[in-house]
Structure 1
Amino acid sequence: MRTAYSVETVRAAERELMARLPDGALMQRAAAGLAAACADLIGRVYGSRVVLLVGSGDNGGDALYAGARLARRGAAVAAVLLAPERVHAGGLAALLRAGGRVVGTGADAGSTAGAAAAAGVGAVEEAILRADLVVDGIVGIGGKGGLRPDAAQLVVLVAESGAPVVAVDLPSGVDADTGEVRGAAIRADLTVTFGTHKPGLLIDPAREYAGSVRFVDIGLGEVLPAEAELEALQHVDVARLLPVPGAESDKYRRGVVGIAAGSARYPGAAVLAVSGALRGGAGAVRYVGPAGGAVVSRFPETLVSDQGPAKAGRVQAWVVGPGAGDDAATVAEVLDADVPVLIDADGLRLAERDVVRARSAPTLMTPHAGEAAALLGVAREEVERARLASVRELASRYGATVLLKGSTTLVLDSAGGAVRVNATGTPWLATAGSGDVLSGLAGSLLASGLSALDAGSAAAYLHGLAGRFAADGAPAGAHDVAEAIPGAWRDVRD
C-alpha cells in the first residue's frame, strides 16, 4: 500500500529526523536519489545539457546538490535562480565548485554566486530551449496559491522546449495537500518524491502534472505516524480483501445482493448492474424492477421479482438507483432496509439526506463529479478542482461512505480517516453504463461481507483494471468491462 501524508505531517517528521542526523544529511540523501533519477531518464550524462529551475527553499537546494552531482559526471549544468538573494547557499556553492554555472532572470545572482554574474532573460530562454533535461526545483511542498509571474513565464518556456522535465518532490504550481492546480504549473515527465508520497501526487488534477512518480526513501518512514492522510491500495492489498468461498459455502452463505435498478426508459442500466454483480463474489443476485425480462434474457441465473424490494426475498446488500428514473418509492423502500445499501445515479438524486443519515446499516454513495456537485450545491468545476475537499464534505453531510468517481477515484469512510485513492482506470472507462457495472460489482462485494470502505475500494480497483484489459488501447463498451472483471480478479489474486 502506498501512503501519502500532509505537508504539516511531513514537515514535523523531517524536523524529528534531522535532529537525529548530521547537518545536511537529509538533503544529501534526497539529492543523491534525485541525481540518480535524472541520470536514468537522460541515459548518457556526460555532455548533456541540464537546466535547474531553482527557488528559494529546500526544494531548490535539492536541485542544486543534484545538479552538482550531475556536473561532476560531465553534464553541462546551468541554474536559473528565481530568488538569488534567498538561494540555498551550500547547494549553490557545491554546484559552482563542480563546474556548474548560473544564468539569471535579469536580476543580479547575488553575492553567494561570487564571480558568476547573472545573464539576461535571453540567456535563460536559450538555456531552457537547448536543454536535454529540465529539473523543476521552483516551489516545494509548501507552495500555495499558484506561481508568481516570473515562475509562470518559465513554465511556458519549459513547455516550448519539449525537454523532459523532472520535478523535485512535487511539480511546481500544484497543491501538495489537495491536488488542486491554480494557474500555471509545471508538467513533469517524472516526479522524484522523498520520504513519502504527497496527496497531490495521487489526486487529479495535480496527478496528471506529475508524470511517472519515483519514490526515494530518505528514512522518514521511521518517524511518520501510522495513520496516513491518503492510501492507495495495490494488488496485494486488494487480494486480501476479495472473498473466497470455502468448502462448505453455498450461494446464500456467499451473500445475496439485490439490484433495484432500471426503468422502461433505461432497461440497460439494470442489465449492466446485474452483470457487475454476478462477477463480484456474491452467491446470488436478486433483481427487482421493470426490466426483469431484459435481465433474465441476458442472465438467466438472476432471481427476478416484480413485487418490490420488501417482497423480493432476503439479501445481504442492496444496489439502488442506476437507470431508476423518478422511482422515488423504490429508493425509499430500499433505504428502509436494515442491510448495507449502495446508492448510485438516479438514486443519489432521489435519496433524502436525512434518511441516509438516519440509517443504522452502512451506506455507500457512488457519485461522479456532476452528481457530487448537485448534492453539494456547487458547480461541477469546483468538485473537479477540489476532489479531496468534495469527498470529505459529502461523507460528512450524508454520514455515508462516499466513492467519488473520476480519473482518480476517491473513497472515504463515513467515520472519516484516510481517503483511499485509486488510479487503475483508463480514460476509455468514460463510456455509458460503466458506472452501472461498478455499482453492481461493489454491491456484490458488500453482500459478501466487506465493509463499505473495502467494497468501494476493491470494486474501484478491479473495475479500473477491467477497463484497461477490455480497452487495451481501443474503445470498449460497458459490457466489455463487465466481461473483463474475472480477468482482473485473477490478475489481482495471482
Structure 2
Amino acid sequence: MRHAHPVETVRAAEAALMARLPEGTLMQRAAAGLAATCARLLTRRRGRVYGSRVTVLAGSGDNGGDALYAGAALARRGARVTAVLLTPEKAHPGGLAALRAAGGRVTAEQEVGLAEFSRADLVLDGIVGIGGRGGLRPGAAPYARAGRSGIVVAVDLPSGVDADTGEVAGEALRADVTVCFGTYKPGLLIDPGAEYTGAVQLVDIGLELPEPEVTALQHADAAALLPLPGAESDKYRRGVVGVAAGSARYPGAALLAVAGALRGGAGAVRYVGTAAEEVVRRFPETLVTEGGPAGAGRVQAWVVGPGGGEGARQALTEALASDVPVLVDADGLTELGRLGPDALAGRTAPTLLTPHTGEAARLLAGAEGGAPPAAEDLAAARLATARRLAAAYRATVLLKGSTTVVADPGGAVRVNPTGTSWLATAGSGDVLAGLAGSLLATGLSPLDAASLGAYLHGLAAREAAGDPGAPVTALAVAGALPTAWRAVRGA
C-alpha cells in the first residue's frame, strides 16, 4: 500500500525527528537518497556518473538545500555540476558551501541557467518544496517551457504542483522522476499533479507518521481483498448482485453492467429491466426477474442506473428502500441529484456513488443548491471534489476520471494507480459499475469494493489495450477481467 500524508503531518514528523538528531542529519539522509537515485539514472543513461552534465535548479529553503547537497555528492563522483540559484539571497548556505567545496559551479544568471538546463544530462528540480502554493513564479517559469535533452528529477515534488491536492494553479516543471522523502504526498498520486511526476521513488528518512489520509492499492493489497470461494461455497453464499440497468434507448448498458458483474466475484447476477431478452441471449447464466428491484427477490447488493433512462427514478427508489448496499451510477445519479441527499436519509445499508465529473456537478447542485459547478473545475480538484460529495451525501464516492479517487464519509481516501487513457470509451463505466457492485455483494465494504473494482478495471483495460496500446471496447475490458484477477493473485 502506498501511503500519502499532507504537508502539515510531514512537517510535524520532521520536526519531531530533527529534535532527536544532530543538526542537518535529516537533510543529509534525503540528499544521500536523492544522489543515489540520480547516480543510477546517469549510469543507465550514459554508462557512468563521471563527466555527466548536471544542472541543479535551487530555490530557497530546505528543498533547494536537498538539491545542492545531492549535487555536491554527484560532483564528488566526477559529474560537472552547475547550480542555478533562483533566489540567490535565500540559497541554502550549507548546501551551497558543500557544492562549491566539491568543485561545482554556481550561477545566478538565468540566461546561463537556461543554457545549462537545455544541455544537461540530468536536472535536479529543487525550485519549490512541499510548502509551495500556486504555479511557478515568473523567474522560474521559463524552465517549464524550455527545451531539454536530459532527465528532470524533482526533489520531493515537481515545482508548481500542490503537494496536498495535486492541483496545478499555473505553470509547473514536468519531471521524468520524482524522489520523495519519508512518505508519498497526495499531490503525487492525483491528477493533474500526477501527470507531472514521472516515475516516483520513495526514500525512507526515518519519519514516524500516523495512519495515512490517502492510500493507493498495490497488487498485494488488491490480492488480499479478492473474494475467493471456499470448499463449502455455493452461488448464494458467494453473494447475489442485482442489476437494474438498460432501457429502450440504451439496451447495451444492461449487457455491459451484467458483463462486469459476472466477473466481479459474486455467485450469481440477477437482472431486472427492459433488456432481459438481450441479457439472457448474451449471458444465459444470468437470473432474470420481471418488474423492478422491489419484487426481484433477495440480493446482497444492487447496481442501479446504467442506461436506466425513463425507468431510472423508480428503480432507484425501490433499490434505496432495500436493506442491502446500493451502487448508483449514470442515470441513477442524475435522479439522485434531483432528489438530493435526503433520498439517502435513514438508509441502514451503505451507498456507493460512481460519478464522473459532470455527474458530480449535478449531485453537488442537488446537495448545495444553485447552478452546477463547472465540471472542469471539479476535475482540477479531484480530491476535494470526492471528499465534498462523500460528506454531502454521507456515502462512499468513486469519482471517475484520469485519476479515480474513492472517498468515504469517514474521511478515508484511496487513489487508483491503474488504468489507461483508452478507458475513455463508451460503456466502460457500466462495466465498472457491475464489477464494483458484484464485489459489494460478496461482502466487501464500499471503500474496498470501489477501490478494488477500479484497480481490476484499470488492469483489465491495460490488458485489453496491449502495449503500446490500441483502442478498446468496454466489452473487451470486461473480457479481460479474469486476466486481471490472475495477475493480482499471481503477485
Give the SS at the match of 2:139.
Answer: helix
Give 1:296-307 correspondences, 5 Å limit: 296-307=280-291
Residue from 291, 300, 307 that aligns with 1:316: 300
**Separation of aligned partners in 1, 2:112 and 2:177:** 25
Q: Once the two structures are superposed, what CA deviation does each residue of 1:43-92 show, in whole Å capped at 9, x if it has no partner?
A: 22111111110010100000000000111111111111111111110000
Aligned residue for 2:37?
A: 37
**Separation of aligned partners in 1, 2:462 and 2:143:** 36
Contact 2:217 2:417 (C-alpha < 8 Å) held by counterparts: no
Contact 1:407 1:423 (C-alpha < 8 Å) held by counterparts: no
Root mean square deviation of aligned Cα: 1.0
Q: Which runs of 5+ in 2 are unaligned?
A: 365-371
Q: Deviation of residue 326 (structure 1)?
A: 2.7
**Separation of aligned partners in 1, 2:104 and 2:33:** 19
**Separation of aligned partners in 2, 1:484 and 1:129:** 43
Percent same amino acid at aligned positions? 70
**Separation of aligned partners in 2, 1:151 and 1:77:** 19
Q: Once the two structures are superposed, what CA deviation does each residue of 1:129-164 show, in whole Å capped at 9, x if it has no partner?
A: 22111110000000012221001122222xx12321
Amino acid at match of 1:362: P
**Separation of aligned partners in 1, 2:443 and 2:148:** 53
Aligned residue for 1:385?
A: 380
Q: Once the two structures are superposed, what CA deviation does each residue of 1:396-445 show, in whole Å capped at 9, x if it has no partner?
A: 000100001112211111222x2101121111111111110000000001
TM-score using structure 2 length: 0.95
Q: Once the two structures are superposed, what CA deviation does each residue of 1:336-378 show, in whole Å capped at 9, x if it has no partner?
A: 1111000001100012221124322100000012211222221
**Separation of aligned partners in 2, 1:98 and 1:358:** 68
Aligned residue for 1:117?
A: none
Aligned residue for 1:230?
A: 214
Q: Once the two structures are superposed, what CA deviation does each residue of 1:74-114 show, in whole Å capped at 9, x if it has no partner?
A: 11111111111111100000000000011113xxxxxxxxx
Q: Deviation of residue 330 (structure 1)?
A: 1.5
Deviates more, 1:400-409 or 1:179-188: 400-409
Deviates more, 1:357-366 or 1:280-289: 357-366
Residue from 399, 405, 408 that aligns with 2:403: 408
Residue from 44, 53, 57 that aligns with 2:57: 53
Amino acid at match of 2:37: A
**Separation of aligned partners in 1, 2:107 and 2:20:** 36
Aligned residue for 1:340?
A: 325
Amino acid at match of 1:249: S
Q: Aligned pair 1:124/2:113, yes or no?
A: yes
Q: Aligned pair 1:275/2:292, yes or no?
A: no
Residue from 157, 169, 185 that aligns with 1:198: 185
**Separation of aligned partners in 2, 1:406 and 1:156:** 26
Number of residues paired by the alignment?
A: 473
Contact 1:326 1:350 (C-alpha < 8 Å) held by counterparts: no
**Separation of aligned partners in 2, 1:6 and 1:384:** 20
Contact 1:32 1:66 (C-alpha < 8 Å) held by counterparts: yes
Residue from 467, 473, 479 that aligns with 2:475: 479
Amino acid at match of 1:471: A
Residue from 413, 416, 421 that aligns with 1:422: 416
TM-score using structure 1 length: 0.94
**Separation of aligned partners in 2, 1:392 and 1:173:** 23
Give 1:46-445 correspondences, 5 Å limit: 46-105=50-109, 121-157=110-146, 160-220=147-207, 223-225=208-210, 227-327=211-311, 328-351=313-336, 352=339, 353-376=341-364, 377-416=372-411, 418-445=412-439
